[in-house]
Amino acid sequence: MLGRVWTIPLILVLGESGSNMRYSKIREQLIASSGREVSDSTLSKKLSELTELGLLSRKSFAEVPPRVEYSLSDAGLALFMKLNDLGAWAREECHSGGLRIPQARKPLQEPSAVGLT
């Protein structure tokens, strides 16, 4: 569940907002925080999955045009708090020298460049 694409960023975006969010605002915040584009179909699917898992709450309003808002459920809020704790631990360990940030890896060479063709 946590290893799937967009799960943690969605939990963080909704948790940091502290309020209900509409689809368009969630998408906007995801793109801003990740620097990556997310398709409408992917985001819709992920929101549905997390709602089915019980991490998100979905509220529909009988309005024209229809309005739907998402927020963290109690379980989602608990996960958000754990992720914040993990982030705080990682920052502390990095600053104290307990964790080291790995150097960027060199790109893989083409097979022909290393004599594998």
DSSP secondary structure, 21-70, as one string: EEHHHHHHHHHHHHSS---HHHHHHHHHHHHHHTSEEEEEE--SS-EEEE
Distance in angstroms (rounded) separating the CA atoms of residues 84 and 60: 29
71: enclosing H helix or E strand: strand 67-72
pLDDT at 96: 84
CATH for 7-87 is 1.10.10.10
Amino acid letter at 41? S
For the residues 38-66, what does the mean pLDDT come to?
A: 94
Whether omega before 65 lies within 30 degrees of 0, making that bond cis, reads yes
> Percent of the chain at pLDDT above 70?
85
Instruction: Report whether pLDDT(37) > 70.
Output: yes
DSSP state, residue 72: E
Nearest alpha carbon to residue 34 among 73, 3, 7, 2? 7
pLDDT at 44: 95
Distance in angstroms (rounded) separating the CA atoms of residues 81 and 46: 20
Q: pLDDT tens digit string along 58-103? A: 999 999 988 999 999 999 999 999 999 998 888 888 888 877 777 6
Query: How is the chain split into domains, by residue range?
Result: 7-87
Answer left, alpha or beta for residue 105, where phi above 0 means left and psi between -120 and 50 means alpha: beta
